[in-house]
Structure 1
Amino acid sequence: MGLFFGIVDFAGGLALIIWGGALSRRYNAWTTRLRERHPNFNAPPTPEWRARNTRIMTVMFRGFGAVIFLLGILTLLPLLTGTKPH
């Protein structure tokens, strides 16, 4: 079971690192459409804020992906080397 979770964490973290930029652009487009449909709830962002939101979400996706990737490595390392953690 640990091998499965290690592989899933490793692959999922790597995917978030690689596709973090594309995911942030899609997320930003989705939130912008939502804000344009409901301007009373939250005003649509200016182009400057749109670019800033995309950069922020890219960093967040890639940072979370890096943490998950490292957790996957830490899960797989003892299984692949044959040593047991203390």
Structure 2
Amino acid sequence: ARLGFRDNGCAQLKAHPFFKAINWGRLEAGLVPPPFVPDPRRVYAKDLGDVGAFSTVKGVELDAGDAALCDAFASGTVPIPWQEELIE
């Protein structure tokens, strides 16, 4: 199961030993910088081909309507490949 998915959600994630050094209150208040800021132009997948493979495996084909939906959310903060994953 994914952390933060069930029951008490974020509390489970925040309590995980990996995040022990993070002061969540100060982070949420904007008083400290986040430990990691993802590059919106980068895909954080093992292989860029893996991202595209999701559509093929599930038999989903993106069409012009899907592209329009991605364009509507293209704020520069969410990478297009991730948006395409979200459509599925």
Give the structure with the higher percent helix.
1
Structure with more relative contact order (C-alpha pairs < 8 Å, separation 6 or more): 1
TM-score computed with the length of structure 1 as normaliser: 0.30
TM-score computed with the length of structure 2 as normaliser: 0.29
